[in-house]
């Protein structure tokens, strides 16, 4: 099956700094990737859809200037949390797309645990 590699798996940063999270598709080309956020004991909430070669599509309520998404190639999407604050501490997960082809699952990265102190 397809593999999505996410890095780093955890990061601790100081309030006000920026953090970059990488998501790579290792054995398939992804024109679309999805970024989710999960707070403790809550479900995954879609933050944005990353589109290769064009601007990301953000979900309602997600600050596009704070969560910068870049999808510069068919195998790499990045999420940068700018000027991070403690309330941004969460589990961030990327995924490859649910395909238009049946039985194509969404492939999740390992997730990144962000702690802002």
Partner 1 sequence: QKEVEQNSGPLSVPEGAIASLNCTYSDRVSQSFFWYRQYSGKSPELIMSIYSNGDKEDGRFTAQLNKASQYVSLLIRDSQPSDSATYLCAVNGGYGNKLVFGAGTILRVKS
The site string for partner 1 over 19-58 (x = CB under 8 A, - otherwise) reads: -------------x-x-------xxxxx--x-------x-
Q: How far is the CB of 45 from partner 1 (least distance, A)?
A: 8
Q: How far is the CB of 72 from partner 1 (least distance, A)?
A: 21
The residue (of 37 and 78) whose beta carbon lies closer to partner 1 is 37
41: left (phi over 0), alpha (psi -120 to 50) or beta: left
Task: Count CB neighbours of 75 within 10 A.
Answer: 18
DSSP reduced 3-state for 48: strand
Strand order in the sheet with 76-81: 4-7, 19-25, 76-81, 67-73
By the rule CB under 8 A, 98 interacts with partner 1:
yes
| Chain residues that interact with partner 1, rule: CB under 8 A | 32, 34, 42-46, 49, 57, 91, 93, 95, 97-100, 102-103, 105-106, 108-111, 113
């Amino acid at each position: 099956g397809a593999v999505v590699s996410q890095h780093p798996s955890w990061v601790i940063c100081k309030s006000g700094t920026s953090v970059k999270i990488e998501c790579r598709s290792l054995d398939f080309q992804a024109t679309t990737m999805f970024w989710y956020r999960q707070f403790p004991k809550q479900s995954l909430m879609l933050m944005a859809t990353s589109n290769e070669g064009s601007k990301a599509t953000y979900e309602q309520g997600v600050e596009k200037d704070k969560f910068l998404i870049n999808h510069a190639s068919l195998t790499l999407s990045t999420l940068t949390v700018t000027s991070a604050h403690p309330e941004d501490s969460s589990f961030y997960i990327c995924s490859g797309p649910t395909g238009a082809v049946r039985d194509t699952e969404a492939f999740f990265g390992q997730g990144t645990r962000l702690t802002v102190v």
